[in-house]
């Protein structure tokens, strides 16, 4: 195998991390470690996307089959097992689990020193910048957050945790726009946001030039009708509900009266989001 458990930069913290690494290394007999990890992330992303995004299903299904064709049957069967271990990690705690594994496996050496912000630091920054989320939701109906260099999505996951800490259900009242120039980072962020059920658009593109090579919408984005919600006309009066979570985890709704306002596209991530939404609206009109 390309690596053993003893050569990891950091010892796996949980049995699920250890099992994920064991399964990943099992697929490195004929395949470089960085390729096996990248293929896992893309296959997981394709699986989530193909379950909900009919606009891109055919092309992405073909891509899925092209990747798995490189592996033997027993190797292909390890990929969903790895996804199950990643889901368990997210069930146990918030965190940038793929980013941590990326660093522990020293994959940054292959991707020219790419480094992801440690989650505790991301969590601190999110707590400092979230503001009064409930007030924002009462005013606008939801809160939006953008990350123009999203990496594995750690900052957005941390923001979702900060929203939840305020008693607001981020799965219904928060929408994220994530952009990264690196395809692997896009797949990592998309998979983790999908597992966390964060409504999000993840753009493979350049936040500075607004070039875009692809986009991914999470299951929470599709199931929550966010293509429509984000394009709702400004100024339409409506009753905004603030989905909250009590200490027992039971969701409640608090209603208030307010005006729907469309977020001003005053930053590049917002412009990228609008471009994706416009194109999706045009494609949906064909059905």
Average pLDDT, the chain: 84
Question: Does 147 lie in the same domain as 21?
Answer: no
With pLDDT > 70 as the criterion, what percentage of the chain qualifies?
Answer: 80
Q: What is the pLDDT of residue 274?
A: 87
pLDDT higher than threshold 50 for residue 111: yes
> How many domains, the chain?
2
Q: What is the pLDDT of residue 14?
A: 86
- Compute the radius of gyration of the chain from its Cα atoms: 19
Q: What is the pLDDT of residue 109?
A: 59
Q: What is the pLDDT of residue 8?
A: 60
Tell which of 83, 109, 135 closes a domain. 109
Q: What is the pLDDT of residue 233?
A: 59
Q: What is the pLDDT of residue 110?
A: 57
Let me know if residue 216 belongs to a domain: yes
Q: What is the pLDDT of residue 234?
A: 46
Reported as a single tens digit per residue, the pLDDT across 82-107 is 999 999 999 999 999 999 999 889 88
DSSP sequence for 12-36: -SSHHHHHHHHHHHHT-SSS-HHHH
The residue that leads in pLDDT, 66 or 116, is: 66
Question: Does 187 lie in the same domain as 56?
Answer: no
What's the CA gap between 276 and 285, in Å, rounded?
14
Mean pLDDT for 155-176 is: 95
What's the CA gap between 236 and 259, in Å, rounded?
6
What's the CA gap between 161 and 158, in Å, rounded?
5
Q: What is the pLDDT of residue 200?
A: 97
Reported as a single tens digit per residue, the pLDDT across 225-254 is 999 999 875 444 455 667 765 533 433 333
Q: Could you tell me which residues come within 8 angstroms of residue 245 by beta carbon, excluding any fewer than 6 positions away?
A: 164, 167, 168, 169, 251, 252
Let me know if residue 114 belongs to a domain: no
pLDDT higher than threshold 50 for residue 6: no
Reported as a single tens digit per residue, the pLDDT across 45-76 is 999 999 999 999 999 999 999 999 999 999 99
Provide the CATH number for the domain around residue 140. 3.40.50
Let me know if residue 115 belongs to a domain: no
Mean pLDDT for 125-150 is: 91
Question: Does 228 lie in the same domain as 205?
Answer: yes
Question: Does the predicted model carry a pTM greater than 0.75?
Answer: yes
Question: Does 182 lie in the same domain as 158?
Answer: yes
Question: Quick one: how far is CA 267 from the chain centroid?
Answer: 20
Mean pLDDT for 101-121 is: 78
Instruction: Tell me the residue range of the domain where 33 lies.
Output: 5-109
The residue written with tokens 């689990």 in the block is: 97
Reported as a single tens digit per residue, the pLDDT across 246-280 is 533 433 333 332 333 333 334 677 888 888 888 88
Let me know if residue 168 belongs to a domain: yes
Tell which of 76, 109, 142 closes a domain. 109
Question: Does 18 lie in the same domain as 125?
Answer: no
The residue that leads in pLDDT, 190 or 6, is: 190
pLDDT higher than threshold 50 for residue 214: yes
Reported as a single tens digit per residue, the pLDDT across 178-188 is 999 999 999 99
Question: Does 220 lie in the same domain as 172?
Answer: yes
Question: Does 264 lie in the same domain as 175?
Answer: yes
pLDDT higher than threshold 90 for residue 118: no
Tell which of 39, 74, 109 closes a domain. 109
Pure H helices in the chain: 15-26, 33-52, 57-68, 73-76, 78-92, 97-104, 119-129, 133-140, 154-165, 170-173, 183-195, 219-223, 226-229, 268-284
What's the CA gap between 81 and 197, in Å, rounded?
20
Question: Does 100 lie in the same domain as 131?
Answer: no
For residue 224, list its beta bridge partners. none
Let me know if residue 269 belongs to a domain: yes
Using 50, 70 and 90 to split pLDDT, how confident is the model at 117?
confident
Straight-line distance from the first to the last Cα atom of the chain, in angstroms, rounded to the nearest whole number:
48
Let me know if residue 71 belongs to a domain: yes
């Amino acid at each position: 195998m390309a690596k053993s458990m003893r050569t990891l930069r950091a010892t796996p913290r949980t049995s699920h991390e250890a099992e994920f690494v064991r399964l990943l290394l099992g697929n490195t007999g004929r395949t470089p470690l960085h390729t096996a990890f990248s293929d896992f992330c893309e296959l997981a992303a394709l699986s989530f996307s193909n379950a909900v995004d009919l606009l891109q299903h055919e092309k992405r299904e073909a891509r899925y089959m092209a990747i798995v064709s490189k592996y033997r049957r027993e190797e292909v069967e390890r990929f969903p097992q790895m996804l199950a271990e990643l889901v368990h990690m997210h069930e146990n705690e918030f965190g940038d689990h793929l980013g941590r594994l990326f660093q522990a496996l020293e994959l940054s050496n292959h991707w020219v020193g790419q480094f992801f912000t440690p989650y505790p630091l991301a969590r601190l920054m999110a707590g400092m910048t979230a503001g009064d989320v409930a007030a924002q939701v009462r005013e606008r109906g939801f809160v939006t957050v953008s990350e123009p260099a999203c990496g594995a999505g750690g900052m957005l996951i941390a923001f979702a945790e900060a929203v939840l800490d305020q008693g607001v259900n981020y799965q219904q009242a928060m929408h994220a726009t994530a952009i990264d120039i690196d395809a692997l980072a896009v797949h990592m962020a998309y998979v983790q946001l999908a597992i966390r059920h964060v409504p999000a658009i993840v753009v493979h593109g350049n936040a500075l030039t607004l070039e875009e090579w692809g986009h991914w919408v999470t299951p929470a984005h599709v199931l929550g009708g966010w293509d429509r919600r984000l394009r709702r006309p400004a100024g339409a009066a409506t009753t905004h509900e603030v989905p909250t979570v009590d200490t027992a985890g039971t969701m409640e709704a608090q209603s208030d009266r307010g005006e729907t306002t469309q977020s001003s596209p005053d930053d590049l991530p917002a412009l990228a989001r609008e471009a994706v939404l416009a194109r999706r609206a045009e494609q949906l009109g064909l059905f």
